[in-house]
A and B are shown apart, each in its own frame.
Chain A
């Protein structure tokens, strides 16, 4: 066995991760650091970021910033500062996002505004910032948008969440076309239901009866943050150098039926 052979290595990579203070974003930070990447971790939650930093490998190599990603003036300043300290970016995981289960009859325009801002606008404009001159590696790299099974398949009361995730799925494909000339690959990832500290308290997981139903929808049971982080490692690494514009479904078989 060739112990040097590892196409999934992230040695020499600089990866920005939004939403790194908890759940999938935090796991991505931990896993990417184990694979050798230097990290730029962003989140609104400062104490959560601090906790993430206690879990990653080589914390002294990374950069963190507590920032509201909807602050479209502040984010570019932070990215510039981060690049100066850590180096040019080779990857971006747009993990930050929020979810809701809301019937049509109680949704308001402000609700849609909030969800589109947090789930779509922030990912889009963070990607724009990362791709600005001087920020991204001249050799290119990889951007990952977090769509969801709910972005392509229906679930009762998931219309708002689903719309935002569908937007990310669609946007990633056109951005893949646009950024290929810079050798920047753009893909989306569509997780099924993942058990995280945040959604562990939501009815579809916390309530035993509802959890049983949720589990029944997934052929392989519910997922863990590690399942998504491993898929992200693939999309960030040179192992996926010929993969762009794709949507990687990591859902335990949820969308197979």
Chain B
């Protein structure tokens, strides 16, 4: 989980703390560009390719983590 948070923080370029229950779209760093970075991170690091419609359903950091680890 620590590794995931590290990769996620790097993808969205966030320096502040990240909690699993956070709704990541509420982060000030979240943007169309960080979205692309997260999609790329999920693909490259976890082999997860996720459709935009599916991604939209994910609200929290925990949900992203689950999507990466329950392929």
A positions within 8 Å CB-CB of B: 132-134, 178, 181-182
- Distance to closest chain B CB from A89 (angstroms): 14
Count: A-B pairs, CB below 8 Å: 12
12 A-B residue pairs with CB within 8 Å: A132-B10, A132-B13, A133-B9, A133-B10, A133-B13, A133-B14, A133-B15, A134-B15, A178-B33, A181-B31, A181-B33, A182-B13
Taking CB atoms and an 8 Å cut-off, the chain B residues in 25-62 that contact chain A are: 31, 33
B positions within 8 Å CB-CB of A: 9-10, 13-15, 31, 33
From B14, which residue of chain A is reached at the shortest CB distance?
A133
From B15, which residue of chain A is reached at the shortest CB distance?
A133
- Taking A133-B13, A133-B14, A178-B33 as known contacts, 5 extra A-B pairs with beta carbons closer than 8 A to each other, sorted by chain A number, are A132-B13, A134-B15, A181-B31, A181-B33, A182-B13
> In the complex, which residues of chain A have a beta carbon less than 8 angstroms from the beta carbon of B10?
132-133
- Distance to closest chain A CB from B44 (angstroms): 14
- Distance to closest chain A CB from B40 (angstroms): 13
From B11, which residue of chain A is reached at the shortest CB distance?
A133
Bound together, the chains give a CA A182 to CA B14 distance in angstroms of: 12
From B34, which residue of chain A is reached at the shortest CB distance?
A181
From B31, which residue of chain A is reached at the shortest CB distance?
A181
- Distance to closest chain B CB from A212 (angstroms): 50
From A138, which residue of chain B is reached at the shortest CB distance?
B15
> In the complex, which residues of chain B have a beta carbon less than 8 angstroms from the beta carbon of A133?
9-10, 13-15
The listed residue with most A CB atoms (<10 A of its CB), out of B10, B13, B15, is B13
